Structure 1
Amino acid sequence: MFYGKNLQVVRMLHGLSRKELGERLNVSEQSIWQFEKQMTEPSFENILQLGEILQVKTAFFFEKFRISKTFSENNVAYRKADVSSRKKTNSEVVYLNVVSEVIDYLESFLNVPPNTLITLRERVGEYLFGELTNEKIELISSVARDFLDIQPHNTNLLLALEKSGIHVLEKNVGGKADAYSAWSTKEVPVIVLGIKKSAVRRNFDLAHELGHLLLHPHIDFLTLEKNERQQTEREADYFASCFLLPSQMVSKDFKEIKKISNPESYIPLKSKYNVSIQALEMRAYKLGFLIPKQHSYFYRQISIKDYKVEEPLDREITLKRPGKIRSIFHLILSNQITNLGSIEEHFKMERRLIEEMFSIEPDFFIPYEKQEAFTSFNNVLRPKFGAI
């Protein structure tokens, strides 16, 4: 029996509309709709083509693919305008639920450390009662920075977030979003980063999404009015600014800048704190080191120098990529607890789809291609390896 729901899931996993998939398959949009609603069944040739296009095995369409709805549209915090696109939201939620299934399967072989971000969320929860003022956000950011043990130069930010229990992923988010985040129904936090960003902008995205996870853990984002969404974005932005650039740490540096409205004056601090020139100036402005006239001049210079597109040092500062999922794959495969073929067969997915979901380069799996799993020792990693 052909399961149309499976087709819908994997189509949305790829972020394809019915029209786009129909064009690739050389059938109408209506035909794809009929396949998904099981009103008609695709031909054998179409099924082979669908498997090739969507990077799944043909058996994928004939076994009910069960995914737990651990993420919902209501809890996903999108940046910028994409929060208003329901189709976009649905596709990303399908992505979150599918990768969650894969991660749960991989972690079933491990003794996973506790999720400490929940402890941090509970610790700062008392500040969320009543109006969420800038003073409260500044205090929450300070508690979070100390709890996560972030280094002064912010270079351990990504690692610290992964160690706290956040699954940090990266993919082509598309649209106008930079990144997004969500808590699952199982209380697992996820941050999804866009690609093609500089290292310093990625740091701000990470801090911004951490802000959402801590400041807005129970908000129904789909029900927010435009002004309410904008307010949550401003709160997350302010959290990121305070978190990356605590006032007690940066005030002395700002005082020593001679030309405070000149973008070039912030280049040494960008190198020191791994934060963008624009984020540094905005923090200086909010702390009172610039007057509005100087602030306006700064942004005119940013526009003239085209720094909104690329700043000095953007290519020199190394971009760090998420490593937690790679570490899990390495632990499981290098210890031959299972093999690539078994993982592919379990989910009826081709390896290239798994690589795409987790932004893993193909070379990563080459050392494990010919390994066979010792299936009789299925959970040997649980007592043997505790940390990832």
Structure 2
Amino acid sequence: MFYGKSLQLARMLHGLSRKELGERLNVTEQSIWQFEKQMTEPSFENVLQLKSILQVKSSFFFEQSTVTQTFPENNIAYRKADVVSRKKTNSEVVYLNFVAEIIHYLEGFLNVPPTTLITLRKKVIEHLPSKLTNAAIKQTAALAREFLNIRPDNGDLLLSLEKSGIHVLEKNVGGKADAYSAWSTKDVPVIVLGIKKSAVRRNFDLAHELGHLLLHAHVDFLMLEKNERAQVEREADYFASCFLLPAQTVKKEFEEIRKISNPDSYIPLKLKYHVSIQALEMRAYKLGFLTPKQHSYFYRQISLNDYKLEEPLDREIALKRPGKIRSIFHMVLNNHITDLQSIEEHFQVERSLLEEMFSIESDFFVPYEKQSNFTDFNNVLRPNFNA
């Protein structure tokens, strides 16, 4: 039996509308709707085409989906709040739930350390006032930085967040969104990063999303009005600024800048703290080191120097990529706990879809292509796995 819900899941996983999928399949949008509503069944040729387009096994469409809805739409701190965004958010919900299912499956073979970010979140909730103030956000940022033990140069931020239990993913988010984050109903934190950012802008995105995870863990983002959404974004921005550039650390640095409104004056600090020139100036401005007139002049210079999209050192400072999911795949496959084919068959997907979902380079799985008969169980397994 052909299951239309499975087709819908695969379509949304790729972020495709019915019209877009219909164009690729060379059928009408109405035909895709009928397939998904099980009013008609696609032909054998259509199924083969859908399999290829959506990077799944043919059997994917003939089994009911078992993906658990652990990431509700209203939990996602997604930045763009218009109608297009709602459609986009729905696709990201499907993506989050699907990757969470795969990660949960793989971690089921391992002894996974506890998520320490939950402990940090509890500490934050204890001191947060009912109405957030800048003072409370600043205090939260300081608490988080100390708890996560972030180096002064912020160079270990991504690694520290992954160690805290956050699943950090990267993908082509699309639209105007830079990144987004969410807590699952099982208290699993996730941050999804865009793929077109420089290393320093990625650091700010990480800190911004950490702010959402800590400050807005129980916010219903779907119920926010436009002005309320803008407010939570400002709060996350302020958290990121305080978190990456603690006042007690950077005040002396700003005092020593001779031309405070010149973007190039911030280049040494950008290299030192792995934070963008624009984020550094904004922090200096908020701390009172620039007048509004100087602040305005700074951004005119940013525009004149074409620094808005690419700043000095953007290409020189190495971009750090999430490594936790790769490590999980490597540990499970390298220790022959299971094999690549079994993972593909379990989720009825092609390897190319796994690569796309987790932004894994195509040669990563090559060493595991011929694996089979996994029998080498060692201490990375859960103690009761053989029970």
Same fold (TM over 0.5): yes
Q: CA deviation at 1:67?
A: 1.0
Taking the aligned partners of 2:187 and 2:282, their CA distance within structure 1 comes to 33
Partner amino acid, structure 2, of 1:260: I
The question of whether the paired residues in 2 share the 8 Å contact of 1:109 and 1:378 is answered with no
8 A contact 2:13–2:95 mirrored in 1: yes
Deviations 1:281-324 (A, max 9, x none): 00000111111111110011001111111000000000000000
In structure 1, the residue matched to 2:70 is: 70
Structure 1 range deviating more: 293-302 or 76-85: 76-85
Amino acid at match of 2:301: Q
Q: Hey, what's the Cα distance between the residues in 1 that align with 2:234 and 2:11?
A: 34
The whole-number CA distance in structure 2 between the counterparts of 1:81 and 1:193 is: 18
* 2:71–2:183 contact (8 Å) kept in structure 1: yes
For 1:3, the equivalent position in structure 2 comes to 3
CA distance in 2, matches of 1:136, 1:362: 45
Contact 1:2 1:38 in 2 (8 A): yes
The residue number in structure 1 matching 2:305 is 305
Distance in 2 between the 1:377 and 1:286 partners? 55
Work out whether residues 109 and 332 of structure 2, in 8 Å CA contact, stay in contact via their aligned partners in 1. yes
- Per the TM alignment, residue 367 of structure 1 is displaced from its structure 2 partner at its CA by 1.1
Alpha-carbon offset, residue 98 of structure 1 = 0.4
Equivalences for 1:101-180 in 2 at 5 Å? 101-180=101-180
The residue number in structure 2 matching 1:364 is 364
Structure 2 match to 1:61 = 61
Does the residue aligned with 2:365 lie in a helix, a strand or coil? Answer: helix
Shift of 1:382: 2.3
Contact preservation (8 Å) 1:82, 1:175: no
- SS of the aligned residue for 2:177 comes to coil
Residues 59/379 of structure 1: CA separation in 2 closer, same or farther (3 Å cut): farther
Contact 2:25 2:50 in 1 (8 A): yes
Q: SS where residue 364 of structure 1 aligns?
A: coil
* Alignment partners' CA distance in 1, 2:379 and 2:224: 44
Structure 1 residue 65 displacement after superposition: 1.4
How far apart are 1:344 and its partner, in Å?
0.3
Partner of residue 336, structure 1: 336
Check 1:94–1:146 CA distance in 2 against 1; reply closer, same or farther (3 A cut).
same
Structure 2 Cα separation of the partners of residues 82 and 151 of structure 1: 38
Equivalent-residue separation in structure 1 for 2:259 and 2:129 (angstroms) = 41
Match of 1:239 in 2: 239
| Contact kept in structure 2, 1:82 and 1:177, CA below 8 Å | no
Q: Kindly indicate whether the alpha-carbon contact (under 8 Å) linking 1:81 and 1:176 is maintained by their aligned counterparts in 2.
A: no
2:383 & 2:263 partners in 1: Cα distance?
53
Match of 2:265 in 1: 265
How far residue 85 of structure 1 moved from its aligned partner, in angstroms, is 2.1
TM-score by length of 1: 0.97
Q: Deviations over 1:242-297 (max 9, x none)?
A: 00000011111101000000000000000000000000000000111111111110
SS in 2 for 1:168: strand
Deviation string for 1:222-242 (max 9, x for gaps)?
Answer: 000000000000000000000
- Residue aligned with 2:168, SS: strand
Q: Distance in 1 between matches of 2:98 and 2:236?
A: 27
Per the TM alignment, residue 378 of structure 1 is displaced from its structure 2 partner at its CA by 9.5
Q: Which shows bigger deviation, 375-384 or 177-186?
A: 375-384
Distance in 2 between the 1:162 and 1:262 partners? 36
- CA contact under 8 A between 2:337 and 2:377: conserved in structure 1? yes
CA distance in 2, matches of 1:239, 1:333: 39
Change (3 A) 1:380 1:78: closer
Q: What code does the residue aligned with 2:86 have?
A: R
- Within 2, Cα distance between the matches of 1:208 and 1:75? 16
Identity of aligned residues (%): 79
Measured after TM superposition, the shift of residue 374 of structure 1 is: 1.9
What secondary structure, in the 3-state scheme, does the structure 1 residue paired with 2:363 have? helix
| Structure 2 portions without partners, runs of 5+ | none
CA distance in 2: counterparts of 1:249 and 1:211, whole angstroms: 20
Is the 1:82–1:176 Cα contact (8 Å) retained in structure 2?
Answer: no
Aligned length: 385
Q: Give the match for residue 33 of structure 1.
A: 33
CA separation in 2, counterparts of 1:377 and 1:157? 33
Q: Which runs of 5+ in 1 are unaligned?
A: none
CA contact (8 A) 2:335 2:377 kept: no
Matches within 5 A, 1:198-347: 198-347=198-347
Cα shift at 1:380: 5.8
Corresponding position of 1:100:
100
Letter in 2 for 1:233: E
Q: Distance in 1 between matches of 2:39 and 2:312?
A: 57
Tell me which residue corresponds to 2:12. 12
Between the aligned partners of 1:149 and 1:328, the Cα distance in structure 2 is 23
* Whole-Å separation in 1 of the counterparts to 2:32 and 2:146: 52
* AA at the equivalent of 1:143: L
- Do the aligned partners of 1:75 and 1:221 also contact (CA within 8 Å) in 2? yes
3-state SS in 2 of match to 1:298: helix
Q: 2: distance between equivalents of 1:381 and 1:299?
A: 54
* Distance in structure 1 (CA, Å) of the matches to 2:265 and 2:81: 32
1:52 paired with 2:52, answer yes
Q: SS of 2:338's equivalent?
A: coil
Take 1:210 and 1:373, find their aligned partners in 2: how far apart are those partners? 41
Asked if the contact 1:81/1:177 (under 8 Å) is kept, the reply is no
Change in CA separation of 1:84 and 1:234 when aligned onto 2, cut-off 3 Å? farther
